[in-house]
Amino acid sequence: MHVRRPKLAVSGHARDHLPAETPAVALTRYQFTVSGEVDRGALDRLPGEWTANYSAGTTVLCGPVSGAVEMHGVLARFDEFGLDLLNLHRLETAH
């Protein structure tokens, strides 16, 4: 049986107190240096657009992180990939 739920009406006064839009989350770009090489498949499993540069047995990854929860997720992915984090550097915040 399908139950219809009534739509909630927002009066003019209440509507004036609603936010015009959801504020955008600021993304901060970070540079991670990890041991070994990171393949394209691993990069595709990270959130957002990432770049990778390989040199002398290390990979330098640059990508966006939107906050502490996402940072923990990125670090957990590195652990899943078997990578050791050698260095972490904050680059910039994009608005």
Q: What pLDDT is recorded for position 20?
A: 54
pLDDT mean over 2-15 = 48
* Residue 54 one-letter amino acid: Y
* Cβ pair 64, 49 in contact under 8 A: yes
pTM attached to this predicted model: 0.69
User: C-alpha distances in angstroms, 68 versus 37, 54, 73?
Assistant: 25, 26, 9
18/79 Cα distance (integer angstroms) = 42
Q: What pLDDT is recorded for position 72?
A: 95
Q: What pLDDT is recorded for position 71?
A: 95
Residue bearing the bigger pLDDT, 56 or 18: 56
41/57 Cα distance (integer angstroms) = 18
Is the pLDDT assigned to residue 22 strictly greater than 80? no
